[in-house]
Structures are given as structure tokens and as C-alpha cells.
């Protein structure tokens, strides 16, 4: 029953379709579904290297995806917990941004 591995182009189309349908649905859905869909999109985006061999696997994004997948459904049961998880995710990204910036500066 597991789906065959999509090619990069198939996966890109699937992601685009997810964004299009989410955008339309967000007009009518509960406001918190907007951030929920964005986080879910992040999770799906992080899978891109699995479908396109030209991309490097990114350990940080892989970890971010695991974190999002663990926390995203809090949106339906624990809004405070969902918000804290989103805050923590952004903090993790900010630290990673600083780390990558320093690394790039040192390379120059």
C-alpha cells in the first residue's frame, strides 16, 4: 500500500497542490489552521531531498520536520502547547541561522 517514490517534479507538483488547496480552505477554516498548514507545509518541504537526488539531505531540516510532526496536532487539543512549539521551532531556526551565517562568514 505504500506509495511508490515520487520524482522531484511529482513531489514539487504535490507540494504546490497542497499549498493551493490549503490556501483556498484557509479562507473558510478556523484561523489557527493557517499556521497549522504552514507548519505541515514545512514538514512536507523538508522531505524534498528524499525525492530529488540533486539536493543534499539537511539534518537540521530533518530534525525540524520530526519536531513539527510530533507537535502539529496540538492545534486541535492544546493551543498553548501548539503556540509554544511554534515559538520553539522559530528559536531553533534562529540559532541555526546564526550558526550558518557564522560558517559562511568564516568560509569567505
Q: Cell 568564516: give the residue.
A: 106
Is position 2 an interface residue for other proteins (rule: CB under 8 A)? yes
As measured in angstroms, the least distance from the Cβ of 13 to other proteins is 9
- Residue 80 to residue 73: CA distance in whole angstroms: 12
As measured in angstroms, the least distance from the Cβ of 61 to other proteins is 20
| SS3 track for 53-97 | CCCCCCHHHHHHHHHHHHHHHHHHCCHHHHHHHHHHHHHHHHHHH
As measured in angstroms, the least distance from the Cβ of 73 to other proteins is 7
What do you get for the CA distance between the two ends of the chain, in Å? 49
As measured in angstroms, the least distance from the Cβ of 103 to other proteins is 35
Give whichever of 51 and 92 is closer to other proteins, judged by the CB atom: 51
Taking CB under 8 A as the criterion, which residues in 67-86 touch other proteins?
73, 76-77
Binding site for other proteins (CB under 8 A): 1-3, 14, 17-18, 20-22, 24-25, 29, 33, 37, 40, 73, 76-77
Amino acid at each position: 500500500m505504500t506509495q511508490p517514490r515520487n520524482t522531484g517534479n511529482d513531489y514539487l507538483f504535490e507540494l504546490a497542490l497542497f499549498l493551493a488547496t490549503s490556501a483556498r480552505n484557509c479562507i473558510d477554516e478556523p484561523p489557527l489552521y493557517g499556521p497549522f498548514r504552514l507548519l505541515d507545509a514545512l514538514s512536507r518541504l523538508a522531505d524534498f531531498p528524499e525525492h530529488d537526488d540533486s539536493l543534499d539531505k539537511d539534518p537540521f531540516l530533518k530534525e525540524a520536520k520530526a519536531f513539527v510532526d510530533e507537535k502539529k496536532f496540538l492545534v486541535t487539543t492544546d493551543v498553548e502547547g501548539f503556540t509554544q512549539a511554534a515559538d520553539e521551532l522559530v528559536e531553533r531556526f534562529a540559532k541555526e541561522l546564526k550558526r550558518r551565517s557564522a560558517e559562511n562568514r568564516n568560509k569567505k
